[in-house]
Amino acid sequence: MRPAIPLQKHVAFALWKHATPDSYRSVRNQFGMGRSTVGVVLMQVVKAINRVLLRRVVHLADTDAVIRGFGTLGFPNCGGAIDGTHIPICAPEHQASQYVN
């Protein structure tokens, strides 16, 4: 039997996996875990986040009211904004006027 993997390593692994586009194999090498352990640990952390933290995440109470609010600011059909980050949009040519970048 091997010693248990510390909780801090579980969280660090899951954050690393979600923050980088690395494969399970490269993350496995980074943290010294077995390939099957990688999948198990990731699922455990994600389930714990969903069960415990998801209720504490800020979410929209009334989506229609938020869309109307952004519409009055000059952003029609916008359901939210992320931290002022610019995200480029590739709009289809036939509907380019419907997309705001």
CB proximity list for 17: less than 8 A, separation 6 or greater: 24, 27, 38, 42
pLDDT at 100: 64
Question: How far apart are alpha carbons 55 and 35 in whole angstroms?
Answer: 31
Q: What is the pLDDT of residues 57-77, one digit of tens each?
A: 766 678 888 889 989 998 888
Q: Is the pLDDT of residue 87 over 70?
A: no
> What 3-state DSSP class applies to 54?
helix
pLDDT at 55: 78
> Dihedral sign, CA of 18, 24, 30, 36?
positive
CA 2, 14, 81: angle at the middle one, nearest 5? 170
Picking from 8, 10, 38, 11, the residue whose alpha carbon sits closest to that of residue 22 is 38
pTM above 0.85, yes or no: no
Mean pLDDT of 40-49: 90
